[in-house]
Structure 1
Amino acid sequence: MGDPFGRLFYLMGPSGAGKDSFLQLVRHQLAGELLVAHRYITRTASAGGENHVELSEAEYHQRRELGLFALHWQANGHCYALGCELDSWLTSGRDVMANGSRASLAEAQARFGERLVPVLLTVDAATLEERLRARGRESEAEIRQRLARAETHSRGLPVSVWRLDNSGPLQQTLQQFERYRKGEQVCV
């Protein structure tokens, strides 16, 4: 008999790699097969980007103190969290994908153990630079910082990480993910 618990696909990648677009595609095309968790963020929902639950600083800290977050971290001047609903979904046997943080990977591995499947979304440097410039959210200095950070982003990650190249069409990225899920592709 197999493991009754679901897997948590913990999506990571540099800003501009296309995580939000990939999550949206997964949400629509794999709806019957896995859930996509919303993050709780102290950033206005109208700022664009991912479909998240907007919280004020006070709401965030209150929920954190009440133990309502499975994981939480800070980055880019905001507070982020994944809700404890993840536990219910995984325990009921559902597979879940969540937009995580490389900086919190060790904490996520400690919390979820073998149920956690780290997934790294990558993109070639030229495409990443083009995407960062096109979205117009960062200054030239911030773009350079993000490009430098992206270059070192995958270093130090476990060999078990599923690496998805999102430099081409999103559908190809989803096909790569599906090959991993079905055991047709292995980590190298």
Structure 2
Amino acid sequence: MPKLFYVLGASGAGKDSLIDAVRDQFSDRLMVAHRYITRPASAGSENHVALSDAEFDLRVERGLFTMQWRANGMRYGVGREVENWLEAGLDVMVNGSRAYLPLAQGLFGKQLEVVWISVSQQVLRERLEARGRESAEEIAQRLERAVEYESLKPHDAICLDNSGALADTVAQFACRLDQKLCQTYSAQNRAKAVKL
């Protein structure tokens, strides 16, 4: 049965980086859904489709979204193409919303698997400081929220630790995606360790 990998994690945990890496490395077997968002295409690091509120409303009226929600003063949608890909036997990955998770689980049932991206507090602090978008106070607030967020992790989530190299996180995901991929990534990591 094809899976819908629903990616969740605190801001700064590296969701977009993981999704981009998965798109590059598993494009032959897994589709990554772009989100439709009412923010400019140049804003944020996510590769999304920018819509005005009027365009978003039109897509809602025409039933073009399989999922939609509001967060941080913006509207987010995931297109019906996700359903088509799953029906065609393809695994799909989407950048999800924790608040929308119960509804998504109701829609997709056992096909949906939560992919929970975690990162240590120290690494998260360093990443937030490096991107330079938040003040010290805002960083402290994000760190607090990350602790709260972690407490909401579903018990059956696929948990990926993204505190180290992105390649290691992708290898963790490969092991959950396919046993043969897991063996390939393990061999690559062993070879890399020998070279070091």
Q: Which runs of 4+ in 1 moved over 4 A?
A: none
From 63, 67, 74, the equivalent of 1:67 is: 63
RMSD of aligned C-alpha atoms? 1.6
Number of paired residues?
Answer: 181
Report the Cα offset of residue 142 of structure 1.
Answer: 2.4
Q: 2:105 aligns with which of 109, 126, 130?
A: 109
The 5-angstrom pairing of residues 1-188 of structure 1 reads 3=1, 6-182=2-178
Partner of 2:194: none
Structure holding more helix per residue: 2
CA distance in 2, matches of 1:137, 1:100: 22
Unaligned runs of 5+ residues in structure 1 are: none
Query: Structure 2 length normalisation: TM-score?
Result: 0.87
Q: In the TM superposition, what is the alpha-carbon distance from 1:134 to its structure 2 partner?
A: 1.3
TM-score of the aligned structures, taking structure 1 as reference length? 0.91
| Identity value in percent | 51
Q: Deviations over 1:22-73 (max 9, x none)?
A: 1111111111020111000111111130100000111112211221111111
Structure 2 CA distance for aligned equivalents of residues 183 and 141 of structure 1: 44
In 1, Cα distance between equivalents of 2:143 and 2:152? 17
Flag the structure with larger Rg. 2
Instruction: Identify unmatched segments of 5+ residues in structure 2.
Output: 183-196
